[in-house]
Amino acid sequence: MRKDKTETERENMRLGIFGVIALVLGVWALIYCWWFVVEIIQGLVALGLVIGGALAIAIAIRRTFRVKQSSEQ
C-alpha cells in the first residue's frame, strides 16, 4: 500500500515536532542538571581508566607468557 504525498508530509511534520520537543527538553535537562552530567563524565573517565589498566595488565601477562612459551620450545 503506497502512501500519498500529504500523508508522508504529515508523518515528517510529526517527526520534526517530536525532534524539536526532544531537543528542547534535552537542552533544558543539560542546563538544569549540568553538575550531574559532569559527575557522570567523571565516573565514566574513572571507569575507562580502570578497564584500560586491567586490559593493559592482561595483555602484558599474555605477552610475557607467550615469550616464555616460545623460548622454551
The domains of the chain are located at 1-32, 34-73
Average pLDDT over residues 48-58: 95
pTM to 2 decimal places = 0.57
Rounded to 5 degrees, φ, ψ at 48 are: -60, -40
Give the integer Cα–Cα distance in Å for 64 and 26: 48
Check pLDDT > 80 for residue 68: no
The helix-helix angle for 34-72 and 5-32 (nearest 10°) equals 90
In one-letter notation, the amino acid at residue 51 is: I
For 20, the enclosing helix (H) or strand (E) is helix 5-32
Under the banding of pLDDT at 50, 70 and 90, the label for residue 67 is: confident
